Amino acid sequence: MTDAKPTLNGARFIAETLKSYGVTHVFYVDAMLRKAMVDLEELGISRVVTHSEKAAAYMADGYARISGKAGVCMAQSVGAANLAAGLQDAFLASTPVIALTGKKPPLWQHRNSYQEINHWPMFEPVTKFNADVVAPEQLPQLLRQAFRTAVSGKPGPVHLDMIGREARELEIAPIHQSVEVDERFIYTPPFRPAPDVDTLAAAAHAIEAAQRPIIVAGGGVRVSGAAAELTALAEKRQIPVATSVDGKGCLVETHPLSVGVAGNYSAWCANKAVCEADLVIYVGSATGDQTTNNWKVPAIGTKIIQIDIDPTELGRSYPNTIGIMGDAKITLQHLAFLLQPSAGNPEWIQRTHQLVEEWNQEVQPLRSSTAAPIRPERICKELTDALPENGILVTDTGYSAIWAATMIQITSPNQTFIRAAGSLGWGFPASLGAKCAAPDRPVICFTGDGGFWYHFAELETARRRRIHTVTVVNNNNGFSQGIEDVHRMYGDRPGDPTELYRFEQVSFAQIARDMGCFGIRVEKPEEIGPAIQSALAANLPAVVEVMTDFSARVPPPWSPK
């Protein structure tokens, strides 16, 4: 019998499959797929060895958010739990990440094997698809399914648990199938479902009838590449636009229709505008607690149009919803086509301008503060000015996300903003992944020192693999977001609350220099801008450590009474 199909070993098969799906980098900690690593090098795929599996998952996540392709990360079986922990952000942010782990074969199971636990269940809450690959014959189909699932519909992480501590059993097995790639599943979104005609007409009618419509753009606009369509619809009907944190920058924030980021990491002008609207049009937004300030912005009962590629999201949070299942880009195009141009409601536009103007006047003194220790708002002004026209800004969570969401402005449609979906420490490794996906674009990460502590070891990875990003660390030697609550818990009771949020004074600039990177410490506000410029020009991984005022607080998000 002749077999026309080429026979590759599993290692080669995996490597060629990744190559065919456009993967340019894999992020992992040894030991996993060691045999395939040799093939990956031959095929020109960068193997980025990191200092923890969680950082590898975050890098794959940042890579995926910027490239629109699946990010690939890996761990041997004992590292699987660390990898799963790192998928939480990708899951919450709906990012296509493929996680590959090893698992000792059945004869090693249930007999106290070294380094082995049943790690598979840990991937259940953080993946869309979580499968065992126990036979080499499964590899072709399951690898294709991994890409198909990761990028389709609402994208998300996928896990393949491969037989063999480092998947060696699969690597050495012959695969009697050829490598096939389904090219539709290389990029998100693989399909752009068009909206149903009747629902679209109902939505258009609601927009025409509204006196005070507002759009809230979510991360789905970025994933769909729909920023131009969003801008076109807003301009055609003169509809103000707020965003979620994830959707920040989908309309440039210097645009006269931009009202800023709404929710609980928000500018109060955006929250007020959303609450005063009589129609809220959500585009690619999860309408979760963060974007709606615990479902108070807007109030339950407000008339809603919601555009989402995932029908199960439609009306999830707001009952009074016209739900349009469709890709954001196509749906916005269809809506704009259906609607006549309009100058909008001048009183409503005037009102939103007034809110934004009042907000700007309130924060302007903080953004231009000359105080030392430095105000974080001043860093944000300097970052707004320094972010290159095609730059990528990556922020960590907590105060970093709030400062960035409210005080940094995305001023060009060629800039991209991505943020942690809640995991402290995500920002720095994710920014390295982003740079791998877009080596020609400048990448700046904005993080607190608490966030940077998690994964600063990846400076070594960045140096070794020449991943030249700039990390601006808001260094206040502590966790500042929770301190009011900590003090509230203490009340009058004796003790030392500072133990719960204060760190040693350490210089990240010095650490960066010791690791062969560029590092600079800034103590005067006027030095921030020049320091970021030097860092961008350094041709090295760079850390700009800005010494800030620990007492700087973010005001609570505005809520209706």
Ligand X SMILES: Cc1ncc(C[n+]2csc(CCOP(=O)(O)OP(=O)(O)O)c2C)c(N)n1
x/- string (CB under 6 A) for ligand X, residues 431-450?
-----------------xxx
- Interatomic CA distance for residues 510 and 16, integer angstroms: 42
Q: Of the candidates 479, 508, 518, 558, which one interacts with ligand X according to CB under 6 A? A: 479
Residue whose tokens read 């979104």 = 189
Q: How far is the CB of 352 from ligand X (least distance, A)?
A: 30
Torsion sign, CA atoms 443, 264, 87, 486: positive
Question: Are 411 and 254 a contacting pair, CB within 8 Å?
Answer: yes
Structure tokens at 45: 């795929």
Q: How far apart are CB 57 and ligand X at their closest, in Å?
A: 13
For residue 449, what are the CA distances in angstroms to 360, 410, 478, 519?
27, 23, 7, 14
Window of 13-21, 234-242, 326-334, 476-484 that interacts with ligand X by CB under 6 A: 476-484
The one-letter amino acid code at 324 reads I
- Residue range at the interface with ligand X (CB under 6 A); choices 128-136, 148-156, 354-362, 417-425: 417-425
Distance CA 190, CA 43 (A): 25
Stretch that binds ligand X, among 70-78, 132-140, 160-168, 473-481 (CB under 6 A): 473-481
Minimum distance between the CB of residue 509 and ligand X, rounded to whole angstroms? 16
Q: Which residue has the tokens 């009202």?
A: 259
Number of residues that make up the chain: 561
- Helix H, strand E, coil C: the string for 439-464 is CCCCEEEEEEHHHHHHHCCHHHHHHH
Q: Binding residue for ligand X (CB under 6 A) from 476, 509, 546, 558?
A: 476
Q: Which of 394, 474, 517, 543 touches ligand X by CB under 6 A?
A: 474
Query: With binding defined as CB under 6 A, does residue 481 bind ligand X?
Result: yes
Contact call for residue 219 and ligand X (CB under 6 A): no
Provide the minimum distance between the beta carbon of 452 and ligand X in the complex, in angstroms, as a whole number: 7
Nearest distance, CB of residue 439 and ligand X, angstroms: 27
Q: Which is nearer to ligand X, 466 or 553 (CB)?
A: 553
Residue 29 Cβ, how far from ligand X at the closest point, in Å? 19
Helix (H, G, I), strand (E, B) or coil at 129: strand
Stretch 385-404: interaction string toward ligand X, x if CB under 6 A: ------------xxxx----
Does 427 bind ligand X (CB under 6 A)? Our answer is no
Question: Which residue, 169 or 449, has its beta carbon nearer to ligand X?
Answer: 449
Q: If binding is defined by CB under 6 A, does position 240 make contact with ligand X?
A: no
- The tokens describing 547, both together, are 């010494």
- 190 contributes a contact to ligand X by CB under 6 A: no
**Secondary structure class of 291 (helix, strand, coil):** helix
Residue 468 near residue 540 (C-beta atoms within 8 A): yes
The phi, psi pair for 292, rounded to 5°, reads -110, 10
Q: Closest separation between CB of residue 490 and ligand X, Å?
A: 17
Q: Which of 424, 436, 459, 509 binds ligand X (CB under 6 A)?
A: 424
CB nearer ligand X, residue 149 or residue 400: 400
Measure the CA–CA gap between 280 and 241, rounded to whole angstroms: 10
Residue type at 106 in one-letter notation:
P
Spatial separation of the C-alpha atoms in residues 223 and 94, rounded to whole Å: 9
| Alpha carbon distances (Å) from 501 to 374, 396, 402, 484 | 19, 18, 19, 11
Q: Which of 451, 519, 525, 557 binds ligand X (CB under 6 A)?
A: 451
State in angstroms the smallest separation of the CB of 92 from ligand X.
Answer: 11
If the CB atoms of residues 306 and 476 are measured against ligand X, the closer one turns out to be 476
H-type alpha helices, 210-310: 219-224, 227-237, 268-276, 289-292
Question: How many other CB atoms are found less than 10 A from the CB of residue 346?
Answer: 9
Tell me how far, at minimum, the Cβ of 459 lies from ligand X, in Å.
Answer: 17
| Size of residue set near ligand X by CB under 6 A | 17
SS3 (DSSP) at 259: strand
Q: Give which of 554, 299, 518 is closest to 403, Cα–Cα.
A: 554
Smallest separation (angstroms) from ligand X to the CB of 184: 35
* Distances, alpha carbon 342 to alpha carbons 113, 236, 239, 333, 435, in Å: 69, 6, 9, 16, 41
Q: Is 86 in the site for ligand X (CB under 6 A)?
A: no
Applying CB under 6 A, does 471 fall inside the site for ligand X? no
**271 or 481: whose CB is closer to ligand X?**
481
For residue 422, state whether it binds ligand X (rule: CB under 6 A): yes
Give 46 or 477: the residue with its C-beta nearer to ligand X.
Answer: 477
Euclidean distance between CA atoms 221 and 287, whole angstroms: 14
Closest approach of ligand X to the CB of residue 454, in Å? 8
Binding mask 110-139 for ligand X (x = CB under 6 A): ------------------------------
CB of 476 to ligand X, least distance (A): 5
Question: Judged by CB under 6 A, which stretch of 311-319, 339-347, 430-438, 479-487 contacts ligand X?
Answer: 479-487
The set of residues, in sequence order, having a beta carbon less than 8 Å from that of 462 and lying 6+ positions away, is: 432, 468, 469, 517, 541
Query: Does residue 264 interact with ligand X by CB under 6 A?
Result: no
Closer to ligand X at the Cβ: 261 or 546?
Answer: 546
Residue 542 C-beta: closest distance to ligand X, Å: 19
Comparing CB distances to ligand X, the nearer of 86 and 189 is 86
Does 224 bind ligand X (CB under 6 A)? Our answer is no
Distance CA 350, CA 469 (A): 40
**Cα–Cα distance for residue pair 5/237, rounded to 1 Å:** 57
Contacts of 111 (CB under 8 A, 6+ apart): none
Residues that bind ligand X (CB under 6 A): 397-400, 422-424, 448-451, 474, 476, 478-481
